[in-house]
Amino acid sequence: MLKPLQIGLIGFGTVGSGTYELLKRNQHQIQRRLGRGLHISMVADLDTEKVKSVVDADCTVVSDANEIISRADIDVVIELIGGYGFALEVVSKALQAGKHVVTANKALLATHGEKIFQLAQKNACMVGFESSVAGGIPIIKVVREGLAANQIEWIAGIINGTTNFILTQMHEKSWTFAQALEQAQTLGYAEADPTFDIEGTDAAHKCSLLAAIAYGIPIPFTQAYVEGITRLESRDMQLAAQLGYRIKLLGIAKRTQIGIEVRVHPCLISERSLIANVEGVMNAVMVHSDALGTSMYYGKGAGGEPTASAVIADLIDIARAQTTDAANRIPHLAFQDEFIESLDILNIEAVVTCNYLRISVADQPGVLASITSILAEYGISVDAMLQQPADATSKQTELIILTHEAKEGVMNQAITKIQKLPTVLLPVVRIRKEDFN
């Protein structure tokens, strides 16, 4: 049997400790599959006493990550510290030292991935990042390897568990966004500063990585359209349910005839679709490709051991490919470097979707006709409509309109004109609608 792969682990938080424990528990099964062991021989963390209380005596614990990078016997460095600054320094130094890297840091890869992958190629190193998207769900491997014979038409995913938990509470309990966020923080599903989650940035990091792998393009994070969930109201959750829909925050990557869509925003989805029924902190990703059709991948998108599962899967892949010529390894972004294409990333104004409109109007004759005539003027047809009972006190009512497909820029013009009607009393609420049937 080959000697164990020697691993240095930087960061011993939830995922780091989960990786150590899972690897220790399943070491025998891993050796049976791999033909060699995986040994975490060094851990770097500022809280060295906490780490020492967990790891075995044959594991060296240090506070300085550079001590791991400088050790000649370390084959692979696992980076689990997060962020952009120090994490980039650690990963870069490790690759320059000829060490393979495994990371769960989607923010780092979405912003500096191309630099990191070029550095890896220059030094004949591998970068494993399965755990950076959807936690333990092996979606990177599915898109990069399992569907390599397919042309991928679109990917749509619930890839942030925090926002999915919040939206589930708003739907099931009619809570406000603020109430649901507070509960998420109480249960540890949301950070004290939840901005990256609730504003859609975390999902955009992950969606950008999936888009790059699916279409062989540079990582398009800076060109992605990103909209979070902070403006959603529980009222819209209930009205959508009356119409047979759920509202979810989706990351969408789609190939069109004029370019690639990369967008994150709330969507109405038919309650009959599988992804609409993904609840709580769970993640799910749907992929539609020409040969397989539509497939869905569901599971835990975060947590110590689920994420550790993906980290260790990357370690196993690296151990298997370590002796393979670098030119014959699976490319980081699925496509050979010379075939990466700079395709157009569509501005949101050019994206075509259906829409949900909630319009608060004065309860008087002719209001509906004036709104539908504006939609008709812009070539937007109505799919379904719901009118709420009038409020006798305020003499106003609500119109809920589902439209057929329209270009975003055209819909924006129509909404602007509707908003100017004297009978429209409040800002028009618009949520995009997607049909994945």
Active-site residue list: 206
270 φ, ψ (degrees, to nearest 5): -55, 135
Cα–Cα nearest to 435, from 70, 138, 18, 154: 154
CB 23 within 8 A of CB 9: no
For residue 403, give both structure tokens: 């439209």
DSSP 127: E
**By C-alpha distance, which of 372, 399, 402, 375 is closest to 388?**
399
CB 61 within 8 A of CB 48: yes
Work out the number of other CB atoms within 10 angstroms of the CB of residue 360.
Answer: 18
Question: Running DSSP on this structure, what letter comes out for residue 142?
Answer: I
Cα–Cα distance for residue pair 431/269, rounded to 1 Å: 11
Cβ neighbours, 10 Å, residue 196 = 17
| Contact between residue 131 and residue 141 where contact means Cβ atoms under 8 Å apart | no
Residues 6+ away with beta carbon under 8 Å from 39: 4, 5, 6, 7, 58
**Gap between the Cα atoms of 87 and 91, Å rounded:** 6
- Give the CA angle between residues 143, 145, 149 to the nearest 5°: 90
Give the distance, in angstroms, between the CA of residue 431 and the centroid of all CA atoms in the same chain.
19
Cα–Cα distance, 34 to 26 (Å, whole number): 12
Whole-angstrom distance, CA of residue 146 vs CA of residue 313: 15
Per the listing, tokens 């959807």 go with 134
Instruction: Using DSSP, state whether 353 is helix, strand or coil.
Output: strand
* Number of residues that make up the chain: 437
Residue type, 245: Y
Neighbours of 417 (CB within 10 A): 14
**For the chain, first and last CA: distance in Å?**
50
Helix (H) or strand (E) holding 118: helix 106-122
CA dihedral 86, 90, 95, 100 (to 10 degrees): -120
